[in-house]
Homo-oligomer: A and B are copies of this chain.
Amino acid sequence: MSAKFQPFTTEYEFDTGKLNPEGRVIVRKLSHMKEMYLDQKAVEERVEEDPLIYEVYNVELPETMAHIQHCTTILYPGKIGNEYFMTKGHYHEILDRAEIYFCLKGKGQLIMQTKEGDFKKLEMVPGTIAYVAPEWAHRTVNTGDEPFIFFAAYPGDAGHDYGGIETEGFVKLSVEENGEQKLIDNPRYQKV
């Protein structure tokens, strides 16, 4: 056998959204993303309990453009104040790299923006394949009552830039008002 990178399989568990083997697991609790929620009083009230917001199961691969990174995300249902549980969101370190999200369970939103201030929201239910076009920062939001689970694939060399979007903030926030989901302007958003 040659010294080439070998093919292999990973099993996706339809019930839980987890991978087997688990790969590199990222666990994000409220304490890891306190500053991202608008209602800081609600954050303070919940941070001791420190709810689990989301988990990512990553197949481990070299970070070169020959490869396709892939992972599943389990985003739990809940709110901090009236803002839905969400992922941190990021640009790709190599900005010009796309990503695919394939929703397998639950429901939610994919919110995206560019450095120029464009904003876009896509609704996701099982079977929705959402295309994060190159140059768009992306965050998912669980607007349902059960875990929102999706499979993602992106170019091997894309990388993650969390700092850029942390500085800007997202243009809009997804909140519940009078029992209904709404997007509101983020008063802390600032174009860099």
Which A residues lie at the B interface, using CB under 8 A? 1-2, 4-14, 19, 59, 61, 65-68, 70, 96-100, 102, 110, 112, 114, 116, 118, 120, 122-124, 126-136, 151, 153-156
Given contacts A9-B128, A59-B131, A127-B14, contact A98 B67 (CB under 8 A): yes
Q: Measured between alpha carbons, how far is A16 from B61 in the docked complex, in Å?
A: 31
Q: Measured between alpha carbons, how far is A123 from B11 in the docked complex, in Å?
A: 11
Residues in B whose Cβ lies below 8 Å from that of A9: 122-124, 128-131
Residues in B whose Cβ lies below 8 Å from that of A4: 114, 116, 118, 133-136
Given contacts A68-B99, A100-B153, contact A11 B118 (CB under 8 A): no
Count of identical protomers in the assembly: 2
Residues in B whose Cβ lies below 8 Å from that of A67: 98, 134
The reply to whether B59 and A7 form a contact with Cβ atoms under 8 Å apart is no
Q: Measured between alpha carbons, how far is A132 from B61 in the docked complex, in Å?
A: 12
Residues in B whose Cβ lies below 8 Å from that of A126: 14
Q: Measured between alpha carbons, how far is A99 from B5 in the docked complex, in Å?
A: 13
CB distance from A91 to the nearest CB of B (A): 13
CB distance from A23 to the nearest CB of B (A): 11
Q: Measured between alpha carbons, how far is A124 from B130 in the docked complex, in Å?
A: 24
The reply to whether B7 and A120 form a contact with Cβ atoms under 8 Å apart is yes
Given contacts A68-B98, A96-B66, contact A11 B136 (CB under 8 A): no
CB distance from A58 to the nearest CB of B (A): 12
Q: Measured between alpha carbons, how far is A182 from B8 in the docked complex, in Å?
A: 20
